[in-house]
Structure 1
């Protein structure tokens, strides 16, 4: 479905009238009068013209589906934007409000002029409260206020859009890969070898003054033909845990039917829990390539398997002016989590170095690109994770490798972690 925002215009009074039904205003104290709707229409146009507000009609597949906007407020003495929306009954439950709110959040974050977005849905409006939670807002209490001749009880939802601030923070891990030799007290140069073997999963890499190069070469074998077909990978990880040969116990059970094929030593290397995790790396522009940093649960318990996708960049998603970066949370086998993953558009050459980071706390995870906020996941993942840093070569539709394009090289300048704020 194509959901777009169209600036509120002089001809949109009928949209307000369409939304002014008992059903649509049940959580707002009931319909407004005809004169109040005229005044609201004039207010929308006036505030749009002055820049104090940005009001839009929501179009879905070319049809009017509702309205949304944001406007200037103070929240607890802090300059903020407030947002609100409505979606017509025939479009509800189809992801229209979610798509429109994500676009509003994206536009506000791009302006950078206010770091706080708030929403005050009625306490009984289950759908709007659930949407706030899904969009990454955190609930911060609520209240009751006079509204349309009665009282409105509301919940307060807050979304922090501020950039990543590392001023005054000291890294507890700062890897520059410039020592000439890979530090295997921090990095295990194999990709999930329990589902294959150390020989087939050994990383191809070079270290130098500019940092790390992880390489897919012509002679790089498919890492696990039995379980993952022709996928090739060059990879470093900061932990290793699996069961005995023949068991199904192992980290990152990426498909059903996995069986441990080679016993592995347990390695507890770098296993952060909360704080900042950051990588500075350059993507590979080729349709078969993908680069990523995706910490996963160390899996002392099988359900402790959630994945924090800091950056996942497919070469096919890059173009002349920028590209799409996958960020978010994947539950894998953690039943307490649900998937909250999306691709965000980033302008600029992603084959040059960019910073990708998360700030992870007990309340949720905030995602950043070049220190700019791009997403918040309001879920709790509360166990140690190991870093997974890699470049993949994915099989082509015709099954023929583009040998002339090799090697595919992921360049990494640094990886850092910072402890949580005290």
Structure 2
């Protein structure tokens, strides 16, 4: 059963979200991201997320995905600046806790973050870089309206280069229904 877009909301990442980040650090959820991070790495990531979410310069934002009905935080989604192939763009990424996957939550959260990135009126393109074998994340890209540009070498985590799909969404184009 897919949860409708109205069933989730995104809220800016805050100091109180470290437990969510720790829960999302499970091996099953970090499989396509180089594996679980150490406690020190999590602390640094959390600080980056908090800083990014408090920054109003248009560099991006991190959010927690919250179920409307219960108010429970079940994942994260965000966008941030990067230089890709000589162009300034936004990159996006998301994650949903294992017990909440398969219900459309990542798709709904990503749609919401697309609108947040679009509202910045700063960069034309939003990219996502899931590995080809991460079928659920590639499906999110398709459902949200990203265009598959092709495969590319992508470095993440730092020092680890792997083949990824380069999905691109034109933030200047009106939202199309899917």
The TM-score bracket by the shorter chain reads 0.7 to 0.9
Which of 101, 121, 129 is residue 138 of structure 2 equivalent to?
129
Structure 1 residue matching 2:153: 3-state secondary structure: strand
Structure 2 unaligned residues grouped into runs of 5+: none
Residues 92 and 126 in structure 2, CA contact (< 8 A), matched pair in contact too = yes
Residues 1:112 and 2:121 are matched in the alignment: yes
Would you say the 8 A contact 2:53–2:63 is kept in 1? no
Does 1:374 pair with 2:175?
Answer: yes
The aligned runs of 1:338-377 (5 Å cut-off) are: 373-375=174-176
Is residue 2:170 matched to residue 1:160?
Answer: yes
Which residue of structure 2 aligns with residue 56 of structure 1? 63
Q: Counterpart of 1:417?
A: none
Specify which of 16, 26, 39 is matched with residue 34 of structure 1. 39
State the match for 1:139 in structure 2.
148
Secondary structure in structure 2 of the residue aligned to 1:12: helix
SS in 1 for 2:32: coil
CA RMSD of aligned residues (A): 1.8
Higher relative contact order (CA 8 A, sep 6+): 2
Aligned counterparts of 1:48 and 1:33: Cα–Cα separation in 2: 22
CA offset digits 1:219-244 (Å, max 9, x no partner): xxxxxxxxxxxxxxxxxxxxxxxxxx
Alignment of 1:389-408 (within 5 A): none
CA distance in 2, matches of 1:116, 1:140: 12
Structure 1 pair 161–150 and aligned structure 2 pair: CA distance change class (3 A)? closer
Counterpart for residue 87 of structure 1: 96
CA distance in 2, matches of 1:146, 1:110: 28
Which structure: greater helix fraction? 2
The superposition leaves residues 166-186 of structure 1 with CA deviations (integer Å, 9 ceiling, x where unpaired) of: xxxxxxxxxxxxxxxxxxxxx
Partners of 1:39 and 1:131 in 2: CA distance: 27
Q: What pairs up with 1:269-418 in 2 under 5 angstroms?
A: 373-375=174-176
- Following TM superposition, by how much is the alpha carbon of 1:376 offset from its aligned partner in structure 2, in angstroms? 6.5
Superposed CA deviations along residues 126-158 of structure 1, whole A, max 9, x for unmatched, are 000111011111111222345446443211000
Q: Which residue of 1 aligns with 2:48?
A: 43
TM norm structure 2: 0.86
Q: Does 1:77 align with 2:86?
A: yes
Structure 1 or 2: more strand by fraction = 1
